[in-house]
Structure 1
């Protein structure tokens, strides 16, 4: 496909950039540590951490890993929420030439055991809140040789840290009992590292930086192999795309980003941590964005410019009674990703903040950013925007051929941010990579005459009603625009006559909304075969920690009706 989108790039955004500026993420990080040493890199619970501090602490942690006998290329798992230990540990792992294995802290013992075994991890750095999960994962056999334990307040100083840890452990009772006899405490590891000699490692572009495991909502979770050059490229691509907004912030000084996205998720990892450090920005760490009142309380004390998030978080915050206690006037970038941004959410967010949500698109396998709406946008477009620099997109059929203009096809991506493959799964890699280097995303999309892409839906989520394709995103978008509806999800369920029919699961904002109201709304806004045959109300929807709705659970698990 011709890169027709280049004609519609914002002024100042180049078609291609030099993605080989840094040989590795390590080189990028070390330059940032030097250039911005005096600036705050992160703020957490009211305490700031400078670039110089992150530099010194991560160097000490790298020395500790080396002194522990780990070698370049060894995999080190990281299982913690957004706390300042996370960037310190990740930078230390990379500086030691080792591989970061990001782990979702909400994993079950079975999921954790699978990932640690699959990645062949030698070590894990884990928040004590989740240590009982690790203990259970090792009930039958040891899955990791070396454990570093950290606590919420470990970097907050002796007095404040002790208070925070006491509250987390004893008052809120967020740390289940566990026994990990040989574990080393994070602050002890740092102290040992300071007493050791760090031996710098040469890290090359084709060395593995991160094993980023896909969500596993369908089948077994797989590790996307992200090389240093993949992640460096995507940081630079994203920086080039965001440049118009970054320049608008420059007058106010340092770019401040709200880090509510989990840093262990690829969106938060590269957009918040790596791009933030590259720009010399400051990240406000939010350990639990589901605590909406706590999140808004933190935001009310900050002046911030950038807020990357998922639709569910934008939606929940905008509906919270404390929303107006926050000063949103400095916000220049609201970037939506991870899932489709719904029109009703985008409309409300713009009304309440004056900053439109720029929807983007990406995957773990693409480091993650593939496309994004221009940061010069003034309104919601309903698309995933234009491919970022150095990126090609095409729409293909099941045989890999480009589909005719105007037709829907599977989105395929080629660019320097595309992964090297799935960890130790050549068969799975072959399934998703075309002979000419395009990655098959599994998302069905369309493109307009300007080169703006729109996702119709996931191939696996498409509902086939009497031979007609129904895309859940469309049904959900229509229903969430109905007054009195908080959120909803659409899935296909088996039907003897039609093969499948549409079922919607709805969370109400107004208790008075009835099934009849929903059906009347759908009759006015959806053609017959797209209208739900089954309507169910619940108190909430099952979601991943990032906020993606788990449609499989809606199909497979019995309902818990709304009370």
Structure 2
């Protein structure tokens, strides 16, 4: 596979390389131009199916709708320097808005629908969108933010349109006449121009506005199927996986199956069976929910040819359960949004389980120690990625931009890992999650791995609770598997019997929860789970079960 060559290792520099990468389409074309031409050349193919709204759109219908929205934007006088705000679920006509922005060379700034009011205001205060498309569910919050920031933005609702007020329905916009001789705009800044602004995970504070370049590096040939292929992700457009899947539907003629409900694993099983979905792109938290639901074992998942996941750590048990139920490839993908492309992929799950794989073509990888010196094979340090392409940084935040990308254009991921003798990367933990107990360093993932081995555990999050004497004491929030019985003492006893070190015990306690706290993009939020633990502890007025003797 030309996209996934054998990795090469430069021993002197201690750098692993995925080799050269070539574009799928003519290099001078923007992504908007690529999608426009592909939609035009395959008008009768089904472009999108909404499993929740029960709609189907051909590629011709999607192209015409996107042209109408783009013409409306042009009629407002919006230029390529303006930004469109998004805060929406995967509804029928969101594709028209996204493609319209691509046709106009105009970036959109996408926020997750779960963001709090302060977060909405802080993010939109950075990009100052002139047009905002949101669901009616979030209209009041978006309007309040717009008024507080004095944006004077036009607001369009995508579903559950409010009665009264000053919002417009997307259905109204779709009546806009298409501009005469409509063509996608050429990009004023070429492939370095910003195509989208997404959000970092926000697990350590307010999400940062991550710029994405209008580069064909976003198109991943590894995911390319055929015009008969059906693809699905529950990720929305604030997460790069949701964005990439939408781009692939336009560029590679696949059919995009969408849903605007809260993620429901049983509903997903039915979608796969009904629509014979071939490609699934999923975050690990949804994988755990899927593998833990009663319908999983009986569902017909035989249509899945490629099941790709990434974004955070997933227990090996969950990976193996998913792998046992599909006939196609289980692919672990690793990157950071800031890289603007896939970083590494593991297409050799059976040979290298739990590895996030090798660097893809066009990328390089190195491991560094705390002094910034490169490390060799099987040495644990911070993972650094290099793509070589232009990155405009965090929008409006040059200070944070300089912290994550050095002068040699290497991204410092803050993830700890190592590369084995075959060039496969293994992620050990987050650098920032390092704890100290009596000045002895340890990482929460070491304990999470043990707890994940318990047959009655579906998911777990371990975090540190500060103690003035001991330092960081480990605590855990645990989700039990459906229909099972699990008590905090069971978890404490299991860890005690499998880990001998005192400093790696759950010295601060355990709580059993219905679900873990997550960031807007579905990642487990260690800080939020810790805060919930502290609230429960405070309400009880006593320490939870603990080994503090």
TM-score by length of 2: 0.87
Q: Does 1:547 align with 2:522?
A: yes
Q: Equivalents in 2 of 1:7, 1:396: separation in Å? A: 18
Distance 1:426 1:490, change over 3 A: same
- The residue that corresponds to 2:192 in the other structure is 206
Change (3 A) 1:381 1:418: farther
| 8 Å Cα contact 2:279-2:307 kept in structure 1 | yes
The residue aligned with 1:313 is: 286
Q: Aligned ranges for residues 79-118 of structure 1 at < 5 Å? A: 79-118=87-126
The residue aligned with 2:490 is 517
8 Å CA contact 2:115–2:520 kept in 1: the answer is no
Post-superposition offset of 1:478: 1.9
1:92 partner SS: helix
Offset, 1:417: 5.7
Which residue of 198, 203, 217 corresponds with 1:217? 203
Instruction: Indicate whether 1:451 and 2:423 are aligned.
Output: yes
2:460 is equivalent to residue 488 of structure 1 = yes
CA separation of 1:139 and 1:61: change in aligned 2, threshold 3 A: closer
Out of 432-441 and 345-354, give the one that drifted further: 345-354
**Structure 2, unpaired ranges of 5+:** 10-16, 541-549
- Confirm or deny: 8 A CA contact 2:213 2:390 kept in the other structure: no
1:144–1:469: structure 2 CA closer, same or farther, 3 Å change rule?
farther
Work out whether residues 368 and 417 of structure 1, in 8 Å CA contact, stay in contact via their aligned partners in 2.
no
Query: Is 1:275 aligned with 2:248?
Result: yes
Query: Are 1:124 and 1:144, in contact at CA under 8 Å, matched by a contact in 2?
Result: no
Is the CA contact (8 Å cut-off) linking 1:343 and 1:380 kept in structure 2?
no
Q: Is the 8 A contact 2:18 2:358 kept in 1?
A: no
Cα distance change of structure 1 residues 472 and 143 upon mapping to structure 2, 3 Å threshold: farther
SS of residue in 2 equivalent to 1:288: coil
Does the C-alpha gap of structure 1 residues 422 and 263 become closer, same or farther in structure 2, counting only changes over 3 Å? closer
CA pair 352-201 structure 1, distance change in 2 beyond 3 A: closer
Equivalences for residues 530-545 of structure 1 within 5 A: 530-533=504-507, 534-545=509-520
Q: In the superposition, relative to structure 1, how do residues 379 and 543 fare at CA in structure 2: closer, same or farther (>3 Å)?
A: farther
Q: Give the distance between the partners of 1:369 and 1:125, measured in 2 at CA.
A: 28
Q: Distance in 2 between matches of 1:110 and 1:370?
A: 32
- Tell me whether 1:387 sits opposite 2:354 in the alignment: no
Match of 2:333 among 351, 360, 365: 360
CA distance in 2, matches of 1:328, 1:511: 25
Q: In structure 2, what is the equivalent of residue 194 of structure 1? A: 178
Q: Secondary structure at the match of 2:510?
A: strand
| 1:429 CA displacement | 1.2
* Aligned residues of 1:349 and 1:355 also touching (Cα < 8 A): no
8 Å contact from structure 1 (residues 400, 434) kept in 2: no
Instruction: List aligned pairs for 1:341-380, cutoff 5 A.
Output: 341-355=314-328, 357-374=330-347, 377-378=349-350
Quote the offset at 1:511 in angstroms: 5.4
Select 1:130's aligned residue among 134, 138, 157. 138
Show the counterpart of 1:185.
Answer: 169
Match of 2:50 among 37, 44, 67: 44
Identify the match of residue 302 of structure 1 among 268, 271, 275: 275
Q: Work out the number of aligned pairs and report it.
A: 519
Question: Alpha-carbon deviations, 1:515-534, whole Å to 9, x = none?
Answer: 33223322343341323212
Q: Measure the CA separation in 2 of the matches of 1:380 and 1:371.
A: 13
Distance 1:287-1:341 versus aligned 2 partners, 3 A rule:
same
| CA–CA distance in structure 2, aligned partners of residues 133 and 308 of structure 1 | 30
RMSD: 2.7
Greater displacement, 399-408 / 21-30: 399-408
- 2: CA distance between counterparts of 1:432 and 1:404? 22
State the match for 1:172 in structure 2.
none
Q: Tell me how far apart the structure 2 counterparts of residues 464 and 30 of structure 1 sit (CA, whole Å).
A: 54
On the 8 A contact 2:429/2:443 being kept in 1, the answer is yes
1:76 CA drift (Å) = 0.3
**How far apart in 2 are the matches of 1:351 and 1:65?**
48
Q: Does 1:119 align with 2:127?
A: yes
1:389-538 paired onto structure 2 within 5 Å: 389-416=361-388, 419-509=391-481, 512-528=485-501, 529-533=503-507, 534-538=509-513
Equivalent residue of 1:473, what SS? helix
Distance 1:60 1:4 in 2: 42
**Measured at CA, do residues 138 and 30 of structure 1 come closer, stay the same or move farther in structure 2, by a change above 3 Å?**
closer
Shift of 1:75: 0.3
In the aligned structure 1, how far is the partner of 2:29 from the partner of 2:103?
A: 13
For the Cα contact (< 8 Å) 2:132–2:154, is it kept in 1? Answer: yes
Q: Is the 8 A contact 1:505 1:537 kept in 2?
A: yes
